[in-house]
């Protein structure tokens, strides 16, 4: 009996010692880790320190700021809806269906993640411009001109943001238990019923997280927007464009606008902390 107790005690001590060793940080990592943390924190701290807090309410309520904020929120929301409508089925196709060229399709889907946004804007202009591959037919047949309009803002934001949604939803689909779908099919449920009543509820957290990240990316889009939609007040000038223009005339206004976008980013991270940050 004594030997058994001693053995269990020894194992607990060994586990405790192992945990202590795992918590020890090599001294060679402390310095670069601290520098990396400062590199990320100092610019944000500088933004907060230099903010004109005394005149902040007045600057936020200026007509130009409110117009840019309203346009940004509306266009980002519409772009996110488009991404959900087309991105969720595409994510399901990549996650659940085996077909020739699936790896190529997945690679194409992720290209906007690494593509410079300005290049994306040029590509959109070549396709949807008045002389573009599709734009010329839209102009002749329906009189629809997309470049330099609010619709162009939405398309540019959807183009750069949709990969975030697709990756999140595809990961959720791959991690979901397919036995529920198989059980629904066994009970006679059709494919559409199984998808809407079983699959979507299973991956709803992943869709929500992907949608929020997609919306945040659309809200902060700059390069593709200014290339494909231009910068027209009240029509295509979103918050990032307003920040860029304010840097040339009023640095305090640029700081205020940046603070608004920073507050939105922090709110998004707070809403996703359980899934993306504190998984442990």
| Residue for token pair 């943390």 | 37
**Tens-digit pLDDT profile for residues 156-178:** 999 999 999 999 999 888 887 77
Assess whether pLDDT exceeds 70 at residue 9: no
- Reported as a single tens digit per residue, the pLDDT across 87-124 is 999 999 998 888 898 899 999 999 998 899 999 999 99
Burial 30-45 (b: 16+ CB within 10 A, else e): eeeeeeeeeeeeeeee
What number is the average pLDDT over the span 227-249? 89
Is residue 193 one of the residues assigned to a domain? yes
Please list, in sequence order, all residues whose beta carbon lies within 8 angstroms of the beta carbon of residue 206, skipping any fewer than 6 positions away: 168, 169, 171, 172, 173, 175
Residue 240 corresponds to which tokens in the numbers above?
Answer: 């990032």
Q: Which residues contact 152 (CB under 8 A, 6 or more apart)?
A: 124, 128, 146, 225, 228, 229, 230, 236
Written as one string, the DSSP assignment of 193-205 is: HHIIIIIHHHTHH
Cα separation values, 29 from 26, 36, 41, Å: 6, 11, 18
DSSP SS3 for 208? helix
- Retrieve residue 41's tokens: 């924190």
CA 276 vs. chain centroid, Å, equals 12
Q: Looking only at Cα atoms, what is the longest distance across the chain?
A: 92
Is 3 inside any structural domain?
Answer: no
d(CA 222, CA 157): 9
Task: Give pLDDT, residue 273.
Answer: 61
Q: Is residue 6 part of a domain?
A: no
The model's pTM = 0.81
Give the range among 26-40, 100-114, 139-153, 181-195 with minimum mean pLDDT.
Answer: 181-195
Report how far residue 211's alpha carbon sits from residue 188's, in angstroms, rounded to the nearest whole number. Answer: 31
Domains held by the chain: number: 1
- Residue range of the domain that includes 214: 63-277
Q: How confident is the model at residue 83 (pLDDT cuts 50, 70, 90)?
A: very high
Query: Is 170 part of a structural domain of the chain?
Result: yes
The Cα–Cα gap between 84 and 11 comes to: 51
Confidence of residue 280 (pLDDT cuts 50, 70, 90): very low
CATH number, domain with residue 222: 1.10.3720.10
Read off the pLDDT of each residue in 198-204 and give the average, rounded to a whole number.
Answer: 85
Report if residue 183 sits inside a domain. Answer: yes
Q: Do 207 and 172 meet the contact criterion of CB atoms below 8 Å apart?
A: yes
- Say if 77 falls within a structural domain: yes
Query: Do residues 169 and 213 lie in contact, with contact meaning Cβ atoms separated by under 8 Å?
Result: no
| Domain annotation covers residue 27 | no
Q: With 60 as the cut, is the pLDDT of residue 130 above it?
A: yes
Confidence of residue 31 (pLDDT cuts 50, 70, 90): confident
SS3 146: coil
Residue 85 included in any domain: yes
């Amino acid at each position: 009996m004594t030997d058994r107790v001693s053995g269990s005690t020894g194992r607990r001590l060994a586990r405790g010692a192992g945990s202590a060793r795992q918590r020890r940080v090599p001294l060679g990592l402390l310095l670069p880790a601290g520098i990396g943390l400062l590199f990320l924190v100092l610019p944000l701290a500088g933004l907060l320190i230099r903010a004109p807090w005394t005149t902040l309410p007045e600057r936020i309520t200026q007509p130009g700021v409110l117009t840019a904020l309203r346009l940004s929120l509306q266009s980002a929301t519409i772009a996110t809806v488009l991404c959900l409508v087309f991105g969720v089925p595409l994510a399901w196709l990549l996650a659940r269906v085996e077909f020739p060229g699936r790896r190529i399709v997945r690679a194409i889907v992720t290209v906007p993640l690494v593509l410079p946004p300005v290049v994306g804007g040029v590509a959109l202009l070549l396709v949807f411009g008045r002389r573009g591959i599709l734009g010329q037919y839209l102009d002749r047949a329906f009189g629809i001109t997309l470049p330099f309009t609010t619709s162009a803002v939405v398309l540019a934001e959807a183009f750069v943001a949709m990969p975030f949604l697709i990756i999140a939803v595809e990961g959720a689909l791959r991690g979901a238990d397919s036995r529920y779908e198989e059980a629904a099919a066994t009970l006679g449920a059709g494919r559409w019923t199984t998808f809407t009543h079983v699959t979507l509820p299973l991956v709803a957290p992943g869709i929500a997280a992907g949608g929020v990240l997609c919306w945040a990316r659309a809200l902060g889009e700059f390069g593709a927007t200014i290339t494909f939609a231009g910068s027209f007040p009240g029509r295509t000038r979103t918050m990032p464009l307003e920040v860029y223009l304010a840097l040339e005339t009023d640095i305090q206004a640029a700081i205020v606008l940046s603070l608004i976008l920073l507050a939105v980013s922090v709110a998004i991270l707070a809403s996703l902390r359980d899934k993306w940050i504190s998984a442990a």
